Amino acid sequence: MQNAPRESSWRVQLQACMQIPKSRPYYTGWPHDRFVMSPAFFALIPAAGAGARAGSAVPKQYAPLLGKPMLLHTLAAFGAVPGIAAIHVVVSKEEAWLETLGGSAFPEHCQIHRVGGTTRAQSVLNGLKAIEAKPDDWVLVHDAARPCITPAMIEGLIAALKDDEVGGLLAIPVPDTVKRADSAGRVAETISREGLWLAQTPQMFRYGVLREALQRFPDVTDEAGAIERMGLKPKLVQGDARNIKATYPADFALAEAYLKAP
């Protein structure tokens, strides 16, 4: 009798993730000696981009918002979530702005990795390779330029996905009418917004499956896209319109207004 074909490694990893005990402690080791529960939850913040569209004199992740760099607002939110075992920030090898912040500005369990790539997907994959995690651990990938994320949003995502087979992402339903343009800049068609969502971050997936997905599909624009191309269906978790990505100059004023609000 012929042997059954061997399942691909990502399917084996996914099945293994589904069979693990709900929680067990393990030691993280130096430099942040402590025990965490496994599967653990790690934050990974890609911050290697230049942010040219923001029109800022500095990379946008270091542009000031309410008197401190945007990146620090993002890190503060994750630092306030007790369930996050470590925060990993990926920057470019030649990053110089980071040194101006001072180590005391970062959460205690934050680690910097100078392994940024030329694309977001490459930076995230390099970051995954740089951290110590088990295949079944969860990784929450979040844009450094989404400074209005709150601990409550992060905790809501974890609660919604911690027992999910695949993982998922924060997103909001498309609120506006959507038009597709032709090559002349005129309306070619109106697209039904039924079932359309705007992807946000964090995007939360198992370490092992996400790493393999990004290795196999490096041309994606977000982590969910790589997971989708593995034949899996990420779960959409209702996000918040305040969780904006600061891309253009006008976004900075809006982000400051959201950060000021109680």
Q: Is 128 in a helix, a strand, or coil?
A: helix
CB 225 within 8 A of CB 141: no
Q: Is the pLDDT confidence value at 6 over 70?
A: no
Q: Quote the pLDDT of residue 29.
A: 47
Q: Quote the pLDDT of residue 238.
A: 98
CB 169 within 8 A of CB 153: no
Judging by beta carbons within 10 Å of its beta carbon (0-12, 13-18, 19+), is residue 244 exposed, middle or buried?
middle
Per residue in 31-65, pLDDT (tens digit) is 444 455 679 999 999 998 764 444 456 788 999 99
Task: Identify the residue with better confidence: 23 or 70.
Answer: 70
In the predicted model, what is the mean pLDDT of the chain? 86
Whole-prediction pTM: 0.84
Q: Going by C-beta distance under 8 Å and a sequence separation of 6 or more, which residues neighbour residue 24?
A: 37, 38
